[in-house]
Amino acid sequence: MSKDKMKAVVINAPGDYGIQMVDVPDVPDGGLLLQVLACGLCGCDLRTLRSGHHRVTLPFIVGHEVAGKVVATGKDYTGKWQEGEVIAVGPLVFCGKCDFCLEGKFELCENYQEIGQHFQGGFAEYLAIPKGAVERGTILTVPSTLEPWAAAVAEPIASCVHAQEKGRITKGETVLIIGAGPIGCVHTAMAKAAGAKKVIIADVNRIRLDLAVPFGADTCIDTSQVNLVEEMKKETEGKGADVVITANPVPETQVQAVEIARKGGRILLFGGVPPEKERPGINTNLIHYNALEVMGTTIFNARHYKKAMDLLASGAIPLNNFITHRFSLDDFVEGAKIALNGESIKMVIEPKW
Ligand SMILES: [Zn+2]
Ligand SMILES: [Zn+2]
């Protein structure tokens, strides 16, 4: 029997991708088949489109910020989501067996797998959700107040929730966010929601800075024009920022972060530095003598994903400013061009238009 076909964005080789007809995935045993309603385009998807990914074997379908409708449940399925239900799917599948999972620190899982890396992703009409994701993943029913295109972006927001939980921003604090991309914008809105007195956002790109204003930034610093460390002294009467978040891949900004933080301040290293770039030469004496806390976070667990969905539903993230572009699956290549040029904050692809 020949299989049903669907449209999907297939990456055949780095830089070579487009819509193809492929088989609709089988419903995995114990898992789900989703009709994809929305899938967010992430920075790491763009990198994979451009240059491949060490965990992805081409040809492959990426996309991991998904909302969709359950259209079938697999053999021996024991999950709670039923046919017709609209769910949001975070891509992470935790092993449930490593020391960290046993301690409940799923975000540190040694063996986690991801939809869109280990399993085919969501830039397609249908997506298979494996049994492991149903049992040990990050899946939520989409609240009736949220459209699928909005719920899809709970995934990147969950990573920010995780970071800010660790960063403990409290009322009256001054927060600097370096990087005005989608992540920097979310951090800005969240810092404001946490009660920060002053949120400053810095970027080398004036267009991005302007796009970040609606997220609640009190001050924008265009680092193509001024020295960030000097400018921050002026902004904080020489004291420094209580919290500095680096939301970009530039090593130099990590060096600056420890110079900008106030005594006793917290630094969240959110953006990873590409391995081929030089290690940043951080002045560790500043960490020592100024009693700084330098923290890292990556990915998230189900608790952060839930909180991200609550944040979206609460309106704390200005969605119309965050999701700047929505494209149909057919127009994926055109949309990806805009995103690759850095002209969008967040783009969501919706297969059924
Ligand atoms: Zn993402
Ligand atoms: Zn684990």
Task: Express each pLDDT in 140-186 by its tens digit.
Answer: 999 999 999 999 999 999 999 999 999 999 999 999 999 999 999 99
Q: What is the mean pLDDT of residues 109-120?
A: 96
Q: Are residues 99 and 230 in the same domain?
A: no
Model pLDDT, residue 353: 58
Q: Are residues 235 and 138 in the same domain?
A: no
SS3 category, 246: strand
pLDDT confidence of residue 278: 75
Ligand nearest to the Cα of 346, by number = 1
Helix (H, G, I), strand (E, B) or coil at 140: strand
Ligand nearest to the CA of 299: 1
Question: Distance, CA 298 to ligand 2 centroid (Å)?
Answer: 14
What are 267-297's pLDDT values in tens digits? 999 988 887 877 888 999 999 999 999 999 9
Domain extent at residue 180: 158-296
Q: pLDDT tens digits for 9-23?
A: 999 999 999 999 999
Residues 6+ apart with CB under 8 A from 80: none
CATH code, domain with 59: 3.90.180.10
Bridge partners, residue 110, by sequence? none
Collapse the DSSP code of 21 into the 3-class scheme (helix H, G, I; strand E, B; otherwise coil) and give the result. Answer: strand
Q: Mind listing the pLDDT tens digit for each residue in 72-83? A: 999 999 999 999
Q: Is residue 312 part of a domain?
A: no
Nearest ligand, measured from the Cα of 153: 1
Judgement on whether residues 228 and 281 belong to the same structural domain of the protein: yes
- Count how many domains the chain has: 2
Q: Residues with beta carbon < 5 A to ion ligand 1?
A: 42, 156
Q: What is the DSSP letter of 107?
A: G
Taking 3-state DSSP, the helix, strand and coil percentages for the chain, each rounded to the nearest 5, stand at 35, 30, 40
pLDDT tops 80 at residue 1: no
CATH number of the domain residue 276 falls in: 3.40.50.720
For residue 251, give the amino acid letter.
P
Is residue 330 within 8 Å of residue 175, measured between CB atoms?
Answer: no
Q: Are residues 171 and 258 in the same domain?
A: yes
CA of 142 to the centre of ligand 1 (A): 18
- Are residues 13 and 140 located together in one domain of the fold? yes
Q: Is residue 309 part of a domain?
A: no
What pLDDT digit, counting tens, does each position of 312-352 carry? 999 999 999 999 999 999 999 999 999 998 888 999 999 97
Q: Mean of the pLDDT values across residues 131-144?
A: 96
Ligand closest in space to the Cα of 96: 2
φ/ψ of 12, rounded to 5, equals: -90, -35
| Ligand 1 center to 41 CA (angstroms) | 7
Q: Which ligand is nearest to the CA of 116?
A: 1
186 alpha carbon, closest ligand: 1
Give dist(CA 101, CA 52) in Å, integer. 29
CA–CA separation, 1 and 9 (whole Å): 24
Please tell me whether residues 218 and 278 are part of one structural domain: yes
pTM: 0.94
